[in-house]
A and B are shown apart, each in its own frame.
Chain A
Amino acid sequence: SQTIHQWPATLVQPVGSPLSLECTVEGTSNPNLYWYRQAAGRGLQLLFYSVGIGQISSEVPQNLSASRPQDRQFILSSKKLLLSDSGFYLCAWTGGSNYGYTFGSGTRLTVV
């Protein structure tokens, strides 16, 4: 069966520090991968999506970046965090017969 792992669960980082969030999917190949951000009490904002290794599409201009070094690995990064980067970050995958998105458990990022 397919599973998605996302870590860390919570993170408190100072302004100006770097960020690296990792997401991996097991049990499938060539998934579509997504990074979303959710502000408190708000909807889902698509940040990046990837349909293959090295293929990243950015939906929102900001100081975040994403990379897909392996087929089932998706990384969200920042060189210097801003206070406005605080939020709940969610990784998701879809593909094959799985039209629905399967989300990871999320990372609560607080920039202080």
Chain B
Amino acid sequence: QQQVKQSPQSLIVQKGGIPIINCAYENTAFDYFPWYQQFPGKGPALLIAIRPDVSEKKEGRFTISFNKSAKQFSLHIMDSQPGDSATYFCAASTGSNYQLIWGAGTKLIIKP
């Protein structure tokens, strides 16, 4: 019940396409859902996060879609660029303890 299941494991998209990465969870107590971006040799960096009181959040070319009833959330990258090639992690936590439960990660490659 504490798991966050992330898919796909890897994804290759042409430049300008819209990669979509999906995550699913079981614990309805989760109330914070961040996405992290990690480049090779670097630590993950917070990209965008959402709380369950909204169904969508946009920051630049990155959008989180959240479906509370389905217990799923996804990351969309609009007008993807080769510089977006990285590993993306979804996560979830309850506000009470800051403990993040991590998805397994998606390695995204944007082809020029």
Interface size on A, as a range, is 20 to 34
Which 6 pairs of residues, A with B, have the shortest CB-CB distance?
A103-B43, A100-B46, A43-B104, A94-B98, A43-B105, A106-B43
User: Does A44 contact B44, Cβ atoms closer than 8 Å?
Assistant: yes
Task: Flag whether B89 is at the interface (Cβ < 8 A).
Answer: yes
B46: which of A32, A41, A102 is its contact (CB, 8 Å)? A102
Q: Please name the residue on chain A nearest to B31 by beta carbon.
A: A99
- In the assembly, what is the distance between CA of A67 and CA of B83, in Å? 38
Interface majority SS (helix, strand, loop, mixed), chain A: strand
CB contact list, B37-71 vs A, under 8 A:
41-46, 49
User: Does B95 contact A99, Cβ atoms closer than 8 Å?
Assistant: yes
- Return chain A residues, CB-CB under 8 Å to B22: none
Task: Flag whether A35 is at the interface (Cβ < 8 A).
Answer: no
User: Which A residues lie at the B interface, using CB under 8 A?
Assistant: 32, 41-44, 49, 88, 90, 92, 94-95, 99-106, 108
* Known interface pairs A32-B98, A95-B98, A99-B98; A41-B42 also in contact (CB < 8 Å): no
Contact flags (1/0) for B12-27 with A, using CB distance below 8 Å? 0000000000000000
User: Does B89 contact A101, Cβ atoms closer than 8 Å?
Assistant: no
A75 CB, min distance to chain B CBs, angstroms: 18
Contact flags (1/0) for B67-111 with A, using CB distance below 8 Å? 000000000000000000000010001010011101111010000
- Return chain B residues, CB-CB under 8 Å to A43: 89, 102-105
